[in-house]
Amino acid sequence: MPHSKVIVNPIAGGNRKARNWVNILALLRDVGLNFDYELTEAPGHAWELAKAATTEGYSRVISIGGDGTLNEIVNGIYEAGGLNQIELGVINTGIGGDFVRGLGIPHDPKRACRHLMNGNGSLIDLGIVECLSNGRKQRQLFVNFAAVGLAAEVVKTTNVRFKRYGGRLAYLIGILSRVLHYENSQVWVVVDGECRKVRVCSIFIHNGRYGGGGMLLAPGAKLTDQFFDMIEIGDLGRFELVRWLPRVYRGTHLAHPKVSNTVAKEISIDSERKLLVQADGNLVGETPAAFSILPSALTVIA
């Protein structure tokens, strides 16, 4: 069994889960995992810890946190040039857990720890997002999904105001608090070289199937197919959006005439006004933004 570096976000999931990591470390010892661990201290610290773990020669890195922590860890591994040498393990303690849900990794900590010892490595695709941050172009990876427009505004609101509620409830409250004040936008979307101008509420770029704490946003997406599923929520009115919201949890929202699903490798989005961009629950910048697939890039214990 390779020596592992465990990176823990001790405040992932808000107050309800703030001490889970102590029990999880004990469970990892009980199942016989050989590991060192470090706690993150601030946003961006998991990125640096993963980068250091890669350069120090660890062959396995385990994330204990949410999708945002996982995003930072993958970016740290990537920056250190370690995507082809690191095997990634995931124990979710965040509010969403959409990545593990899509891969079938257990949410229960005890089962997730056993899964690390018994699961098989799965080679998954990753996404690349390029956008503006503080007026400068930046480039980073995402694991599960990215989004532009209302969905990114919801991430901002949820992380600041409602994270303490946890999971589906936090995102649902975040959506309802933003949707009544959000204005749809004119955007230019280029999908694999074809450009069109549309008015949208939100655009999702999915590598995995789930987002927003259990919403089945991209029912056909696969982490291994070397394509994105782009879900475009068109010019829906506020009350129409709220009325259709329950369908997103069942994956039946694609039946709406103003909702579309496009499979693509490269997507770029520009807009009349600047729109926020999020990746795996982290705000990363604003439009213009470009998204591309990095195929078969990382081995995950799944």
- Is the domain of 106 the same as that of 134? no
pTM above 0.85, yes or no: yes
- Enclosing H/E stretch for 195: strand 194-200
- Is the domain of 92 the same as that of 156? no
Measuring CA to CA, how many Å separate 301 from each of 2, 58, 142?
13, 15, 17
The answer to whether 89 and 31 have CB atoms below 8 angstroms apart is no
Q: What's residue 1's pLDDT?
A: 55
Q: What's residue 167's pLDDT?
A: 56
301, part of any domain: no
Averaged pLDDT of the chain: 90
Q: Does the pLDDT of residue 298 top 60, yes or no?
A: yes
- Is the domain of 132 the same as that of 93? no
pLDDT above 90 coverage of the chain, percent: 70
Number of residues in the chain? 302
- Is the domain of 88 the same as that of 21? yes
What is the DSSP-derived secondary structure letter of residue 259? E
CATH of the domain at 278: 2.60.200.40
Task: Look at the chain and report how many structural domains it folds into.
Answer: 2
Q: Which domain holds residue 17?
A: 4-119
- Is the domain of 174 the same as that of 292? yes
- Is the domain of 99 the same as that of 159? no
3-state secondary structure of 274: coil
- Is the domain of 210 the same as that of 289? yes
Q: pLDDT digit string (tens) for 112-144?
A: 999 998 888 999 999 999 999 988 999 999 999
- Is the domain of 184 the same as that of 100? no
- Which of 91, 119, 147 is at the close of a domain? 119
Q: pLDDT digit string (tens) for 263-289?
A: 999 999 999 999 999 999 889 999 999
CATH of the domain at 93: 3.40.50.10330
- Is the domain of 204 the same as that of 238? yes
- Is the domain of 133 the same as that of 85? no
